[in-house]
């Protein structure tokens, strides 16, 4: 069975509210409640990708190349939808996260390599999330030396002392801050005609810098932790094959929504900054919007950055904890206490502590933000190969394994990402050897 042909069972469809005969269509309140019911791990994981490093990368793309990266982002959106759907389907049909599936389906050495790649990428991201929180609250007039420790304790307490469902609701509320970015784009008065033209037709620029930025955009959009998180969260929430049609809607819609926000960030920055050069920080992007959005531009940008960074500050270390705990076969759930899941909670706590501590070191961490996205871009095709292999196997998913068309599309997406990453890696090695 091709995953695209999956339909909800009759029992599931009968649960949906149906307007009584003679009544008007459901009110906006009912539609909102329905949307919030559908929203879940897929929406959370995709929107967590719009974190501090993501915002810096998207804003830098707009400042450096204007609207030229919009078509590239359109292609990345297709890849993100394909990848996230496979991961959610793996979690729903197996009841196991990617860490556990990799451990079951591959050798110890191959599984260890996958976990090492994830841990290296995620640790840098945890630091960047707390750096993003500090930068956001600095825009709002709060010192990062006060903001970061309070945020670290808050994120830690939310996960350790709250239930998964409560934490999920908090994550969803935080994601509402993403709605500030379309507003910022509108206030910037962009050239919508030019933006639309470059969205539907490629306007790429030759050169190493554009290619490097392209890989960074891949790394910050199809971030490895998102794949591990969504599969594990779907399994942890108890979503099975019967409930999967709704979860697939959540996953696909979340991916599209997240990338629409990313495009708005690019559009807003491209419209506000006419000198085409890379940004030094996300704070610079905020200050660049001041002449257009007024004296509240920095606060508006800071609010969105705070929500994005806080969301990812919880999701990124959780994805690492899920993967490692599943790989060694121990308890992995945010609904458990420390005595029931010591490795899971302990690893999560250690990442929060290390990330917040490094983010407090004096200095500009913008280079860390950018390099983290490039590292993710290099690691992404490695981990996506595992995902594609698992989703293709009938021994894992049975009739829900990738059909011929889906397999072909997914293979093209992974291959193109791998090719771009390989070229950037080769260019980097040559530059180190003085040959670039």
Strands of 326-421 (E only): list them. none
| CA–CA dist 401, 237 (Å, integer) | 21
Angle at 387 between CA 212 and CA 218, to 5 degrees: 15
Residue 33 within any structural domain of the chain: no
Residue 21 within any structural domain of the chain: no
Residue 213 within any structural domain of the chain: yes
Q: Which two tokens stand for residue 64?
A: 């450096």
The number of domains in the chain is 1
Quick one: which of 388, 368, 390, 419 has its CA closest to 128?
Answer: 368
Q: What is the CA radius of gyration of the chain?
A: 21
Let me know: does 270 contact 140? Beta carbons within 8 Å: no
| Domain containing residue 99 | 39-432
| Residue 218, burial from CB neighbour count under 10 angstroms (0-12, 13-18, 19+) | buried
Let me know: does 44 contact 254? Beta carbons within 8 Å: yes
Contacts of 251 (CB under 8 A, 6+ apart): 41, 42, 43, 46, 81, 84, 85, 88, 230
Residue 365 within any structural domain of the chain: yes
pLDDT digits over 196-205, tens only?
Answer: 999 999 888 8
Place of tokens 């995902």: 387
User: What 3-state DSSP class applies to 279?
Assistant: coil
The CATH number covering residue 133 comes to: 1.20.1740.10
Let me know: does 256 contact 89? Beta carbons within 8 Å: no
pLDDT at 296 (0 to 100):
73
DSSP string, 380-416: HHHHHHHHHHHHH-HHHHGGGSPPHHHHHHHHHHHHH
pLDDT at 362 (0 to 100):
77
pLDDT digits over 406-430, tens only?
Answer: 999 999 999 998 888 888 877 767 7
Residue 32 within any structural domain of the chain: no
Residue 121 within any structural domain of the chain: yes
Q: Which two tokens stand for residue 107?
A: 């050798």
CA dihedral (199, 83, 166, 131) positive or negative = negative
Write out residues in the chain with pLDDT < 50, as ranges: 1-38
- Helix, strand, coil percentages in the chain from 3-state DSSP, rounded to 5: 75, 0, 25
Let me know: does 376 contact 224? Beta carbons within 8 Å: yes
pLDDT at 219 (0 to 100):
83
DSSP string, 165-177: HHHHHHHHHHHGG
Residue 3 within any structural domain of the chain: no
Residue 34 within any structural domain of the chain: no
pLDDT digits over 128-161, tens only?
Answer: 889 888 888 888 888 889 999 999 998 888 878 7
| CA–CA dist 336, 326 (Å, integer) | 14
User: What 3-state DSSP class applies to 23?
Assistant: coil
| CA–CA dist 141, 128 (Å, integer) | 20
* CA end-to-end span of the chain: 48
Q: Which two tokens stand for residue 411?
A: 């293979």
Place of tokens 């696909």: 252
């Amino acid at each position: 069975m091709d995953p695209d042909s999956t339909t909800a069972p009759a029992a599931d469809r009968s649960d949906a509210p149906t307007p009584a005969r003679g009544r008007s269509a459901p009110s906006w309140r009912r539609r909102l409640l329905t949307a919030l019911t559908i929203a879940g791990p897929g929406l959370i994981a995709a929107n967590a990708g719009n974190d501090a490093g993501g915002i810096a990368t998207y804003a830098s793309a707009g400042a450096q190349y204007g609207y030229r990266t919009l078509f590239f982002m359109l292609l990345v959106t297709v890849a993100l939808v394909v990848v996230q759907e496979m991961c959610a389907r793996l979690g729903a049909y197996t009841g196991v996260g990617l860490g556990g599936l990799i451990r079951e389906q591959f050798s110890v050495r191959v599984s260890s390599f996958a976990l090492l790649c994830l841990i290296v990428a995620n640790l840098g991201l945890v630091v960047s999330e707390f750096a993003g929180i500090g930068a956001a609250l600095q825009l709002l007039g709060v010192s990062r030396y006060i903001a970061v420790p309070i945020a670290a304790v808050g994120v830690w307490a939310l996960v350790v002392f709250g239930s998964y469902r409560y934490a999920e609701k908090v994550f969803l509320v935080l994601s509402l801050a993403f709605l500030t970015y379309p507003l910022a784009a509108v206030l910037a008065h962009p050239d919508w005609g030019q933006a639309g033209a470059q969205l539907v037709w490629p306007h790429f620029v030759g050169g190493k810098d554009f290619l490097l930025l392209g890989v960074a955009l891949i790394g910050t959009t199809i971030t490895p932790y998102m794949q591990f998180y969504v599969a594990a969260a779907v399994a942890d929430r108890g979503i099975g094959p019967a409930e999967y049609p709704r979860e697939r809607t959540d996953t696909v819609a979340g991916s599209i929504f997240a990338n629409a926000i990313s495009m708005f960030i690019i559009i807003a920055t491209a419209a506000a900054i006419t000198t085409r050069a890379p940004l030094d920080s996300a704070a610079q992007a905020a200050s660049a919007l001041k002449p257009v959005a007024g004296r509240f531009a920095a606060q508006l940008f800071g609010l969105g950055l705070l929500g994005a960074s806080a969301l990812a500050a919880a999701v990124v270390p959780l994805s690492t904890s899920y993967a490692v705990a599943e790989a060694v076969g121990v308890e992995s759930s945010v609904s458990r206490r420390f005595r029931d899941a010591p490795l899971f909670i302990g690893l999560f706590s250690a990442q929060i502590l290390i990330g917040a501590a490094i983010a407090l070191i004096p200095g500009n961490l913008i280079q860390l933000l950018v390099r983290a996205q490039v590292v993710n871009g290099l690691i992404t095709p490695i981990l996506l190969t595992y995902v594609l292999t698992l989703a293709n196997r009938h021994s894992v998913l049975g009739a829900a394994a990738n059909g011929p068309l889906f397999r072909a599309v997914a293979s093209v997406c992974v291959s193109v990402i791998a090719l771009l990453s390989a070229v950037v890696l080769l260019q980097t090695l040559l530059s180190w050897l003085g040959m670039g």
